Amino acid sequence: MRGFFDPRQLAHAPKREFHNGGWTDYAEVPARAEAIVAALGGAEAPTDHGEAAILAVHDAGYVDFLKTAPAKWAAAGRDGDVVGYVWPVVARRKIDLTRIDALAGRYSLDAATPLTADTWTAAYWSAQSALSALAAVQAGDRAAFALCRPPGHHAGADYLGGYCHLNTAAIAAQAARDAGATRVAILDIDYHHGNGTQDIFWARGDVFYASVHADPATDYPFYWGHADEIGEGLGEGATLNLPLPQETTLAAFRAAQATALDAIARFGPDVLIVSFGADTWEGDPISHFRLATADYAVLARDIASAGWPVLVVMEGGYAIPALGANLASFLAGF
Ligand code: Q9C
Ligand code: ZN
């Protein structure tokens, strides 16, 4: 299977994130991608498909923020990475925001995703890796892999969060639609709910979003991913959330994924995009499921047996010594 990655994706390296009332080391480190490239025995450089496919999903003001916020932060006399501290929870007014702190709150979901001067470039090439893997599938490959790092599924049209800036699965889904696919399905099997992907396609019936994830009653992102969220308007019924309790093992995860695959089969996609996170692994440092390395091949075989062309995009997974083997197990299942 072809795999895509650009070394410029390594440049984004925030030092810390805010968690449980204090600063901790940033979990989404460049070494994650290096471990995966090593396990794959290398990756192809993506083709530059340009910014239009990004702007087909993301708000222009948000993209400008990603590009310019680090310089504004420095101009305000700050050291370190851009991070918000005040959010427009109650009064989200349509006023022109100029202060860097107002912008950082307006365009973010949490304080766990600082921006550096290199973030835009890394996120841009992460999106290009997804678009290049999509091109491989469009050219006839049964499956292709995009080593998207930074990841994407927590990023909405106009906000970053959860270590994500550009929603690579959504960008690829929209690009597939724009290239003529009638229906696109996204299966999200990262440990966390993909709130950004859900938000982007919430009111649309042409892109189906199904997610198996840790119950947001106990886990990030808390405000999304509950079973009663099914989409709205034209999108009603095109969102499916299957939350599971902490400590979940293969049998229950596989059954939930089968429920998602059945729903996707009824939808009838031209192409399936899998948001894959290895943070469901039993030893993940920030997550609480109990999947074993060999389980990923089982899950992948279940997905592959449906027969749709599949684009796999990388999301989370933070146990660096196991990351390569977990990803290799999953891809081998195809
Ligand atoms: N230090 C993805 O897996 N909070 N994002 C974790 C632990 C944020 C995870 C706190 C989790 C985001 C793509
Ligand atoms: Zn995750």
> Tokens 């229906």 identify what position?
183
Question: Which ligand 1 atom is the nearest neighbour of the CA of 17?
Answer: 1
Q: Please name the residue whose Cα sits nearest to atom 9 of ligand 1.
A: 162
State the catalytic residue, choosing from 58, 154, 192, 193: 154
Per-residue pLDDT averaged across 245-271, rounded?
A: 98
pLDDT band at 92 (very low <50, low <70, confident <90, very high): low
Instruction: Indicate which ligand has the atom closest to the C-alpha of 189.
Output: 2
Give the count of beta carbons closer than 10 Å to the beta carbon of residue 50: 11
Instruction: Please state, in angstroms and as integers, the Cα–Cα distance from residue 296 to each residue in 92, 243, 253, 331, following that order.
Output: 42, 19, 11, 8
Q: Is the C-beta atom of 330 inside 6 A of ligand 1?
A: no
pLDDT band at 88 (very low <50, low <70, confident <90, very high): confident
Q: Please name the residue whose Cα sits nearest to atom 2 of ligand 1.
A: 316
* Whole-number pLDDT of residue 89: 74
* Whole-number pLDDT of residue 42: 97
C-alpha 116/C-alpha 124 separation (Å) is: 13
Provide the 8-state DSSP code for 192. Answer: S
CB 150 within 8 Å of CB 10: no
C-alpha 254/C-alpha 297 separation (Å) is: 11
From the number of C-beta atoms within 10 Å of its C-beta (0-12, 13-18, 19+), residue 158 rates as: middle
C-alpha 37/C-alpha 49 separation (Å) is: 22
Q: Please name the residue whose Cα sits nearest to atom 7 of ligand 1.
A: 286
C-alpha 299/C-alpha 112 separation (Å) is: 30
pLDDT at 203 over 80: yes
CB 4 within 8 Å of CB 145: yes
Tell whether pTM > 0.95.
yes
Q: What is the pLDDT of residues 123-155, one digit of tens each?
A: 999 999 999 999 999 999 999 999 999 999 999
Task: Confirm whether 192 is a catalytic residue.
Answer: no
What is the rounded average pLDDT for all residues in the chain? 97
Q: What is the pLDDT of residues 37-71, one digit of tens each?
A: 999 999 999 999 999 999 999 999 999 999 999 99
Angle at 297 between CA 285 and CA 323, to 5 degrees: 30
Per-residue pLDDT averaged across 247-265, rounded?
A: 99
